[in-house]
Chains A and B, each alone.
Chain A
């Protein structure tokens, strides 16, 4: 085995530029795979962390008539939960409304939230500190689309519980910045007590956000959706991104492996006398197959070393500065930060090394099998077989 490694190493070094070209291409594939998977992992961790902090909490207790996927259910999907059942729960009431910025008519979802809540990172304390008649807060995306700044007044039209129109000015008391577009786009947050008074829906909530101590149990008329269930859609999106991305980097890996495969075929064709000599000196055919396979596998080890030489500084740089995402992606329903910081875990790096080593071993072995069928005398003579 040791002899095989030494021979393989000397043969590779002897091949010169051909070896380094193969190693270069394979190391590039190796670095790209780690980079892409690190980016997806970084996005995944950030999206999960932000979605929990800003939107999901430890789960939602939804009124049975409310379906988050059906905006028409906002109208009637609300109810009263007895006070004694509200421990570790923070109420949110949704109503549909219209605002009129600069003479435009913009439909919005009006969200009433407990100003003293601390389950979500929404800066609701800023609402309680405001002296405005109806203090409101919006996210940066909403503020941008409505051209609002802190202190601005905006005419809001809504309907009370009986469907009668009402209208009043609201004051923008706070503008918050979040990566979670689902709590920002098309939404205006106001104190829930205010919304109860405005609509006559005293004590009603569309859903409750659970905090850490909440123990889910059956409540008639309400459905509990756990944090895990809510993160499922995010997991599905990331999973599909992962599959889409893997096609790209597997293609790149395939090109690198093809180069190794070609090199192996050429080596076996050109080094028939060498193969014959090994066998005549006492090596079995399969030992020679092993030698050539080791040579091919060694490309992956060299590629790992070369990849580390230029990849590690690059990965450290990326992990510190992050990768800026285009602004448009942050308006999508899924949580995407302005800058994503790739995460390179040990599992990710080891699994990538294993993938590259095993695949290069396989493509090295496939052409080397031909050696096992060679006639050693003809091989020594250098006859084509």
Chain B
């Protein structure tokens, strides 16, 4: 029996290689985009639109465009520091320590989720454990297990499109193996030379509700972004 399992696993590609190909699709030198974040509540949903700029894993800048209550709120991430500018108080505060574990604008994502800037392969060891079909597309099921002590999620399971190397579903687990969050990625579009999911649904599976949708309305890769965007001065502009 054991040789048969080994034989089947030998037909699967190397997990690290699959994740590397996914990273080639999902990350770029720079990204400029506009997004909609729809937070589904118990009774109603809230939609926020944002404009974002990102350079590598370490630098990102997000400005809220709507609704009026959030308009002008800006978020700047430089390395492991995160600042939030609120136009109503005209103050910039640094989000640190326990505040990083708070939800972003009432969504299913925490600031810490936004802050994670390490490459997946720096935190996890990847192994392809099987195949599956999602919405008619064949996927590799990749299991990621933390190899460092300070990973937020001890393990992850990612379903990667076998042809496009785009994740279609991701599940995040606690140390005990309890499923905590599920991310569903859809509306895959060809942007330049890469395939990219333009809709993501983040769902805290332990609570009721439909989670939070994150929809890219426009996205451009490897465009020139002025340096001043990634400075604290840009928050008050």
Chain A residues engaging chain B, CB cutoff 8 angstroms: 71-72, 74-76, 96, 100, 103-105, 155, 157, 159-160, 162-168
Contacts and interface: CB of A to CB of B under 8 A. Distances in A.
State the main secondary structure of chain A at its contact with B.
mixed
A105 B204 contact: yes
Given A75-B98, A104-B207, A167-B206, A160 B175 contact: yes
A75 B174 contact: no
B98 A74 contact: yes
Contacts of B101: 96, 159
Contact of B97 (A76, A104, A105): A76
Given A100-B207, A104-B208, A105-B207, A157 B98 contact: no
Contact of B180 (A71, A72, A96, A165): A165
Interface of B: 97-99, 101, 146, 149-154, 174-176, 178, 180, 204, 206-209
B97 A165 contact: no
A166 B153 CA distance: 8
Given A100-B206, A103-B207, A168 B176 contact: yes
Given A72-B97, A76-B97, A167 B176 contact: yes
27 contacts: A72-B98, A74-B98, A76-B97, A96-B98, A100-B206, A100-B207, A103-B207, A103-B208, A103-B209, A157-B174, A157-B178, A157-B180, A157-B206, A159-B101, A160-B175, A162-B149, A163-B152, A164-B150, A164-B151, A164-B153, A164-B174, A166-B174, A166-B175, A166-B176, A166-B178, A167-B178, A167-B180
Contact of A162 (B99, B150, B206, B209): B150
Contact of B146 (A103, A157, A164, A167): A164
B98 A165 contact: no
B117 to A, nearest CB: 15
Contacts of B149: 162, 164
A278 B101 CA distance: 87
A165 B154 contact: yes
A317 to B, nearest CB: 48
> Of B146, B152, B178, which is in contact with the most chain A CB atoms at under 10 Å from its CB?
B178
A257 B40 CA distance: 64
Nearest to B206: A100
Given A96-B98, A155-B206, 8 more contacts: A104-B207, A157-B174, A157-B178, A162-B150, A164-B146, A164-B151, A164-B174, A167-B178
A326 B149 CA distance: 49
A155 to B, nearest CB: 6
A166 B208 CA distance: 19
Smallest CB-CB A-B distances: 9 pairs: A103-B208, A167-B178, A167-B174, A166-B175, A162-B150, A105-B207, A100-B206, A162-B149, A72-B98
A165 B174 contact: yes
A164 B97 CA distance: 14
B153 A165 contact: yes
A168 B206 CA distance: 11
> Of A72, A157, A165, which is in contact with the most chain B CB atoms at under 10 Å from its CB?
A165
